[in-house]
Amino acid sequence: MTVYADVLFLVNFSLDYVSLYITGRLMSRPLYVRRLAAASAFGALYAVSALFWDIPEPLYIAATLAVSGVMCLFAYRRACKGALASAVETAGSALLLFSVGCALGGAMTAIYSLGKGYSAGEPEGGGAGTMTAVTAAAVTVTALAGRVAKKRRGVRHSRVTLTDGGKSVTLDALSDSGNLLFDPTSGRPALIVSADAAADVLPQKIREAALSGDVAGSAAALPPELLTRVRLLPVSNVYGKGLLLGFRPDAVTVERDGSEREYDLIVAVSGKKGGFGGFGAVLPAELS
């Protein structure tokens, strides 16, 4: 049978893109077209090169899972800090991507069978064209549906850079209308950040106080140079009422829609593990 490498690349690229998109949505990860496209191209190149392999099926499956892990590293920003946590996260993403790919592959095979397919090693009746067109349509429909759903939910995400003491960290931040937290003293809105995600820029004693379980007591014990930069922020959510430790870094810059702007925000440090649905921070409601 004659195999056309360009058609095979296009079909696999499209399927990989849809699979990565669905996997990212299921894992609530921020999605970027360039990263998805790079990962899809890598997966498509692997599919084409695999034509020249002659290895046992178990080894081929293992190689495919490994490639799925690399694709996830290309496509998604890490939500976890630390080598072990990142490895577990990547392995879970790879297994989910592999499963989604298998499901989509089965669906595409069923659709392809409706065409005339191949006969005597030559494409007949546009079978490959049918599959390519359907797959491309699936990419378009999935992307458009995602955008519509995103707008209807009012969900946006931006990149936020925290700078303090000459150190900086950039986080993917969810713009959530449910974030009404603010500093009751100054009235400044609060940017909620995960203590783990912002560990590289938070002063160690601030981070320890925020994670201590006794925010008020730990904040009172901070050295004077840090005590003047913190606030106690009352918070109420589905888990009850409590306090978060607010901290004023040197600068908070928000990048959204291709532009950057510095905001006068207070940073509320949360001990929530794994961030907020794959995001390292939550922007205040007025920036949504």
Q: What is the pLDDT of residues 231-245, one digit of tens each?
A: 899 887 655 578 889
CATH tag, 156-287: 2.40.70
Least confident residue range of 49-63, 108-122, 178-192, 266-280: 108-122
Task: Return the pLDDT at 133.
Answer: 59
User: Residue 214 and residue 218: Cα distance in Å, rounded?
Assistant: 6
C-alpha 11/C-alpha 97 separation (Å) is: 17
- Tell which wins on pLDDT, 282 or 83: 282
Q: Does 89 have pLDDT greater than 80?
A: no
How many alpha carbons fall within 13 Å on the CB side of residue 63? 13
pTM: predicted TM-score of the whole model, two decimal places: 0.49
Cα distance between residue 252 and residue 169, in whole Å: 10
Q: Where are the domains of the chain?
A: 5-153, 156-287
DSSP state letter for 286? G
Instruction: Tell me the per-residue pLDDT of 226-276, one tens digit each, with 9 for 90 and over.
Output: 888 888 998 876 555 788 899 999 999 988 767 788 888 899 998 776 677
